[in-house]
Each structure stands twice: as C-alpha cells, then as structure tokens.
Amino acid sequence: MSELKLLTQTAGSAPVESVITKRQKPDPALFIGSGKASEIKELMEMHDLEIAIFNDPLSPAQQRNLERTLGHHVIDRTGLILDIFAQRAKSHIGKVQVELANVKYRMSRLVKAWSHLERQKGGIGLRGGPGETQMELDRRMLENRFKRLSVELSKLQKQQANQRRSRMKRDVFSISLVGYTNAGKSTVFNALTKAGTYAADQLFATLDTTTRRIYLPDYGNAVISDTVGFIRELPHQLVEAFRATLDETVHADLLLHVVDSASPVREEQILEVNKVLEEIGASEIPTILVMNKIDLLPKYVGREPEIRYHKDGRVSSIYLSAQNGDGIELLRNVLSQFSKDTDKITFNSDLMENEAEASEVLESRPAEADYFNDLSELGKGILPRDV
C-alpha cells in the first residue's frame, strides 16, 4: 500500500484513507466483496472523497460496477500509472507512446460502456438503438486515433533504426541503466556523467531516455543511457508502446541494474525488473547489479563500497551510494575492465557532431564472452564473496 500511496501522490492526488481486504479470489462483479464495497462507500461519503483507487488491475465490468456501487469515479493501478506517464512525458516520441497506450486502455474500457441503451429499439429505418450508435461512434474515433498514432510511432521507430544503421561503423561500447522506479538510476547516471539530468525522490521522475558520453579509465569514452523505470504490474500497453524507448536497453552491451538496497522489498523489485527485461528480449544481455543507497543501510555505516562476485569470478554486484559519490570510481573501473574485454572500439568524440547523436550509435551486443579477468587489481574496497 505504501507504493500505491506514492503513485497517488505522484499523480497529484492526496490519499486520505486506505482499506485492505483479503479474498481467496477476486469477485467477478466488484473485485472486492459487497460488504467491503459498502464500507468504502461510507468512508468516501464521510470524508467527501472523489476518487477510489485500486491497487490491482480491474476488468472493465468490475470498474463500471464499482462506480455504480460507490457513486464515484474508480481508477485501477493501470489507469493510475498511465495517468502519471501522461503527465511526465516530455519528448515527442514519449508523448506519442503514452497517448497510444492510453488509447489502447480506453478501447478495452469501451466494451459495453453503453449497454444500458443497447436494447432500445430504433424507429423505421434504424437497425439499433441510440446506445449502439453512440458506442460505435466512440469505438470508431478511438480506432482511428489508434491507427494514426501507430503510424506516427512506426515512422519514429524507423527513423531511429535508420540512424543506427547509418552509424554501424561506429561500433561504440554502450551501457544502459535499468531498474525499479525510484531506485536511483538518474542519480547514478549523473554521478558517472556529470550530466545534471533531473533526479528526484519520486516515482517515474524521468520517462525519456537520456544518453551521454562517459569516460572509462584505460579505455576511453563510451555511451551510457538512462531509461524509464519499471514497476510491479507495469501495464502491458506501456511496455508495448514504449518499445522505441526500451530499444536503448535491448541494444546495449551491458546493463547496470540499479537496485534500492535499502528497500525492504528489493528482492521483489529485482524480480519485477527481470520480468520486464525478459518481455522486451533483453534478459540475455550481461548485467551487473548496482546496489545503491548503502548509506541508508545501518550495517554499511563506516564500511567501504564493495564488489561481489559470482562463483565463476564474474562481477555480480557493486555496493555504493550514488548520492554521496561513494563507490562511483569503483564502478567506473569495473566498466572500464568490462569494455576492454569486448570487441567494441573506443568512442571518438570527433565522429560525433553533438552529444545528442550518442543515443543513435547503440548497436547490437557482442557475442557472449568471459568479460572479467583481472578485477582483483581494481583497488581498495573490494570484498570478494558469493552473493
């Protein structure tokens, strides 16, 4: 419920009351029981509340029945996240992706939305009642809008693909930051690049992918991308619509999976991110866990940042605090060692006209290799151990 509260605040609303219920399975009509629905209705009337937000996806019928029972607007988790994305999208492609996801969601809600009028008989020459006519009009409007947005997004995706193909000779080592929302990806990104991109202690602080150059010791410059954060039950409509943005992840040579190590549900968050990576086809890309925010863990007070290893010697995770800068140079050295063991060339800044072009040079990842050989030489603060 704490995450739902944060989502609600991020969307611009103020949570007043929370109700928790347990059922063996959701009620087909109301999702919750009729008694719990009555309890929620009384609370809403008592506090003069306008919206009821559910922490799970609701079927169109359940949402409609709940609104009739409660007498107020009802939003499910999917609708809430879509609303946040709509507020936060800044770039043109980001806005198109969010609008497309919203249209798909509304199309699924339209079914039987006018069922109370469908059976009315029309007059002479009419095949159906006004309800059928209105529903078909709404459906046609959404379908036309969906087609228009799909064509526009397809063009934008082709532009990105053409730009990548035109720069295939610039085989640059690329890194992509992924992670649960509010894990500190943008803070890690800023600490590595000094980019000064927007970072805040809130969910989905950034939606649009940002790519910058990064200097790696004994290697040179590479490119690193900060991508949109993931969350539990990320709406499928968003995953599909954000393919263009998530392509930065799919084409990366290395993923830095940023984790809020101070979160009591960090293991669940790691699993949720891995689920999305598998869905977009990025689960086989080499990945290093960046266990961020160790300054908030009491057991790490007074301890140095550290690297942990898999049993076969590969780096599994790095414990650091991006906010304080502790462990950033250790991370940079690990990235340098990783990049040197790939077949990627050093990024030559003379090849690029500006930093914005860096986002267009992410190419296919190299074949699987043994990337870590000499990490024991990276310096202080390394405590080899199994995860």
- Residue 160 marked ligand-binding: no
In the block, residue with structure tokens 């999208």? 89
- Looking at residue 383, the DSSP 8-state letter turns out to be -
- Residue 228 marked ligand-binding: yes
- Residue 225 marked ligand-binding: no
- Residue 197 marked ligand-binding: no
- Residue 181 marked ligand-binding: yes
- Residue 295 marked ligand-binding: yes
> What is the full DSSP assignment across 210-262?
EEEEEEETTTEEEEEEE-PPB-TT--HHHHHHTHHHHHHHHT-SEEEEEEETT
Cα distance between residue 304 and residue 291, in whole Å: 13
- Residue 218 marked ligand-binding: no
- Residue 293 marked ligand-binding: yes
- Residue 186 marked ligand-binding: yes
- Residue 227 marked ligand-binding: yes
Nearest to 132 by CA among 108, 116, 109: 116
- Residue 323 marked ligand-binding: yes
| SS3 state at 370 | coil
- Residue 346 marked ligand-binding: no
- Residue 349 marked ligand-binding: no
- Residue 245 marked ligand-binding: no
- Residue 2 marked ligand-binding: no
- Residue 299 marked ligand-binding: no
Cα distance between residue 274 and residue 249, in whole Å: 12
- Residue 205 marked ligand-binding: yes
Cα distance between residue 157 and residue 152, in whole Å: 9
- Residue 82 marked ligand-binding: no
- Residue 207 marked ligand-binding: yes
- Residue 183 marked ligand-binding: yes
User: Going by C-beta distance under 8 Å and a sequence separation of 6 or more, which residues neighbour residue 123?
Assistant: none
Cα distance between residue 184 and residue 11, in whole Å: 20
Instruction: Specify binding-site residues.
Output: 179-186, 204-208, 226-229, 292-295, 321-323
Instruction: Specify binding-site residues for Mg(2+).
Output: 186, 206
Instruction: Specify binding-site residues for GTP.
Output: 179-186, 204-208, 226-229, 292-295, 321-323
